[in-house]
Structure 1
């Protein structure tokens, strides 16, 4: 089974596909000075773009891990945006945790595993 990588640099690949499964690198917002809701929407938009580039979509999500800088302050907002973004009836396995982020302005990072068609 071959491993296919896209958007690769010396450190990581944004997309890795193997044996019918797609793995996305952790995604963050484009505007790290934005508030939590905009960071969530941008992060989810980045995920959608990568899924599309790889030939799949949000209906094929298998597992999602959400990292929040402040789970007490941001969990409800994250769920509110998530619930409007995710198509009904296709909820993946999901974990949400509080984490110290790699940069101080990152409020959310999301890692995704999805099925390929």
Structure 2
């Protein structure tokens, strides 16, 4: 497993991690401030999902290859749900947030699977 001390973290990975944090923060603010009629179940589900994204992002930042794969699967599921159910009935705020966070997530994926990132995630851990 890779850790940060074994090699210089590529700028693309640093930026991808930052974009993921921005996306998490925007989603958290939207959950807390922007949803009228938020139920306890919805708040719990969103909180758990944000925590999962946060832990995965911490693991990406520390060089865990499995974490970037898990993140890819999470984003793919998000896109699949969006394609399956669309944004019909969503509030204007939800549409705006999705229009903002989805490109951030896509761009972070592109950077996490670029050549320099691949090399860094594949490097052996420092002993």
| TM superposition score category, shorter chain reference | under 0.3
**Greater RCO between the two (CA within 8 Å, min separation 6)?**
2
What is the TM-score of this pair, normalised by structure 1?
0.28
Query: Which structure is higher in strand share?
Result: 1
Query: Which structure is higher in helix share?
Result: 2
Q: Which has the larger radius of gyration?
A: 2
What is the TM-score of this pair, normalised by structure 2?
0.26
